[in-house]
Amino acid sequence: RPVPLMGSSDLRSAATSAFAILIALYHRARTGEGQHIDLSSVETISVL
C-alpha cells in the first residue's frame, strides 16, 4: 500500500518547531533562562 502523503504545512511546522527548540536551548545555555515556545501550524504557513 502507498504511504499516505503529508501536507507541506505539517513538514514546515515540524521544521519550524525543531528550529525554535534549538534556539531556546541555545538561549538557555547562554543565559540560564528557560523559554516558552508558542507555535501553531497556521502561523507557520501564513508567512508564506
- Strands, E assignment, 1-48: none
28-43 tens-digit pLDDT: 999 999 999 998 888 8
User: Does 3 map to a domain?
Assistant: no
Q: What is the rounded distance in angstroms from the CA atom of residue 23 to the CA atom of residue 45? A: 20
User: Does 2 map to a domain?
Assistant: no
Output the pTM of the full model.
0.74
User: Does 1 map to a domain?
Assistant: no
**Where in the sequence is the domain holding 32, given as residue range(s)?**
8-46
User: Does 13 map to a domain?
Assistant: yes
User: Does 19 map to a domain?
Assistant: yes
User: Does 34 map to a domain?
Assistant: yes
Q: Is the pLDDT of residue 6 over 90?
A: no
Running DSSP on this structure, what letter comes out for residue 39?
A: -
Q: How many domains does the chain have?
A: 1
Region 15-36 average pLDDT: 96
